[in-house]
Amino acid sequence: MNTLAKNSPVQLAFAGLFIALGVLLPIPFHIAGIAGSIFLPMHIPVLLAGFYLGGLYGLCIGMITPLISHLVTGMPPLSPIPMLPIMIMELGTYGLLAGLLYNKSRGALISLIGSMIGGRLVAGLMVWLLITVFGFQQLDYPMAYLSGAVVTGLPGIGLQLFLIPLIINRLESK
């Protein structure tokens, strides 16, 4: 899928587009009072970036997008629950794994599922670190956090499982 020349201006432009989409897509959800944790709108551009631009770009876009979003909109928050560092690592992992797994397998759905599992495992690790190393007692323990995130995010997970392979397969056919 990654047919763009490495580090070309076109690749950099697409990286900027994916970051902008990752910052802008959650805004209507927040305005409508729908938590981003339900539909996971920031995840879609990051995952697509990994598929389209490769793992390294996916990693960078996944880590930069929540940081820029926080600076511009205040979301994801740093308090009372420090979601920003969790999402930086989670989305970075999504982007990295989407690119690496897709490059190895060429199967969009399998790569997507692997990326989603890997990203959530890293989120659980971040929760554990924030609790044990930094003392953030307002966080649920990692397994409770992960199960809550998956259950709450089921609409977004379903949307990702439907939409992302559709987009990737459409781009491949061109």
- Residue-level pLDDT at 81: 86
Q: Is pLDDT above 80 for 164?
A: yes
44 within domain boundaries = yes
Examine residue 4 and state whether it is found in any structural domain, yes or no: no
Which positions ≥6 away from 82 have C-beta within 8 Å? 130, 136, 139
CATH of the domain at 91: 1.10.1760.20
pLDDT of 18: 98
Residues 88-121 have pLDDT tens digits of 999 999 999 999 999 998 799 999 999 999 999 9
Q: Which tokens go with 43?
A: 């995840």
Residue 6 has pLDDT above 90, yes or no: no
Q: Does residue 2 sit within a domain?
A: no
Q: Is residue 3 part of a domain?
A: no
Q: Is residue 125 part of a domain?
A: yes
Q: What would the mean pLDDT of 24-36 be, rounded to a whole number?
A: 90
Q: Which of 97, 90, 5, 8 is nearest to 49 (CA)?
A: 97
Q: Angle at CA 83, nearest 5°, toward 78 and 88?
A: 105
Predicted local distance difference test score (pLDDT) of residue 106: 76
How many residues are listed for the chain in this entry?
A: 174
Measured distance CA(160)–CA(39) in Å, rounded: 9
**pLDDT of res. 38:** 93
pLDDT at 130 over 60: yes
Number of domains in the chain: 1
Whether the bond between 165 and the residue before it is cis, its omega within 30 degrees of 0, is no
In angstroms, the CA 149 to CA 82 distance is: 14
Give the domain extent around 55: 9-172
Mean pLDDT of 11-37: 93
Residue with token string 């880590």 = 63
Average pLDDT, the chain: 93
Mean pLDDT of 14-42: 94
Confidence of residue 2 (pLDDT cuts 50, 70, 90): low
On whether residue 163 sits in a domain, the answer given is: yes
Residue 1, in any domain of the structure: no
In a domain, 13, yes or no: yes
- pLDDT tens digits for range 66-90: 999 999 999 999 988 899 999 999 9
pLDDT value for 14: 96
Question: With bands split at pLDDT 50, 70 and 90, how would you rate the model's confidence at 33?
Answer: confident
